[in-house]
Amino acid sequence: MTARPIPPDGEGPGGSRDHYSYQVYADAAMANRFDTLRFSGPIGTLLAEEQARVISTFLGDVAGRRILDVGTGTGRAAIGLAGLGADVTGVDASEEMLKVARERAREAKVAVAFQQGYAHHLPFDDRSFDAAVSLRVLMHTPDWRTCLRELCRVSRRRVVFDYPSAWSLAALQAGARRVVSAVGGRTEAYRVLGRGAVAAALASAGFRIADEHRQFVLPIAFHKLIASRTFTTSVEGALGRVGLLGVFGTPVTVVAERCEP
């Protein structure tokens, strides 16, 4: 397989490396505490379990299949897929995050090929992998359409990714963070996306949405504040039964398939 070269800083589809999505996760302290911030406590554990379940459902039997995890971070998804028998490559822009991922893979006794790379310009040939996975990337990356196009380009058949819905309470938080960022504050000013925009970007790359999963109606931060798995599952279950989850649920995890063989 011939690798595509990584463009130098400030060039290519990824734009400047000064964007917060490169700066924040290049920090060693952030890398070392990332899993604790995201997946600790009862709600963090619930998030991790649901993420693993959804990926497994959307990808099916991955034994012996080549899977690319883009924006792998500390390697949670990549390590889980490797544990199911997949041949996994994990790519991330942050070498500090990759250091943690390699250590976690050693502890889990699984083999994952971790390497530094950029979601806007993946160093792999077209259709090099059976499937590509990318979690919590499109919300932060400078150019989400380019990243999604790259995921589709390198995947032979299927891509799995997630995004915060524009029709959710997450949109209010995202808007507030963008205001803070605009006046010079330090924050992760992530974006929210609409289903129509996502479907159109996939169609331009020759893919279509095959299925999707929505997790919460109420903000994750609220559930973490309550810190009760029983409360979260009960309340979100009730909201789902009255149809609110299908309309306002977020994050949205999507599995998309190639329209042609």
Please give the torsion angle defined by the CA atoms of residues 108, 71, 57 and 222, in that order, rounded to the nearest 10 degrees: 100
Confidence at 9, pLDDT banded by 50, 70, 90: very low
- Contact criterion met (CB below 8 Å) for 140 and 15: no
Domain ranges in the chain are: 20-163+191-217+251-258
141: tokens are 């990356």
| Choice among 17-31, 72-86, 205-219, 227-241 with the minimum mean pLDDT | 17-31
The DSSP-derived string for 101-136 is HHHHHHHHT--EEEEE-BTTB-SS-TT-EEEEEE-S
20-163+191-217+251-258: CATH architecture = 3-Layer(aba) Sandwich (3.40)
CB neighbours (10 Å) of residue 153? 17
Query: In this predicted structure, what is the pLDDT of residue 116?
Result: 96
H helix runs in 84-211, sequence order: 95-108, 144-154, 170-182, 195-204
Reply yes or no on whether the pLDDT at 11 is more than 70.
no
pLDDT tens digits along 158-168: 999 999 999 99
The Cα–Cα gap between 152 and 44 comes to: 29
- Contact criterion met (CB below 8 Å) for 16 and 10: yes
pTM here is 0.91
Query: In this predicted structure, what is the pLDDT of residue 18?
Result: 76
CA angle 116/212/105 to nearest 5° reads 30
pLDDT tens digits along 118-157: 999 999 999 999 999 999 999 999 999 999 999 999 999 9
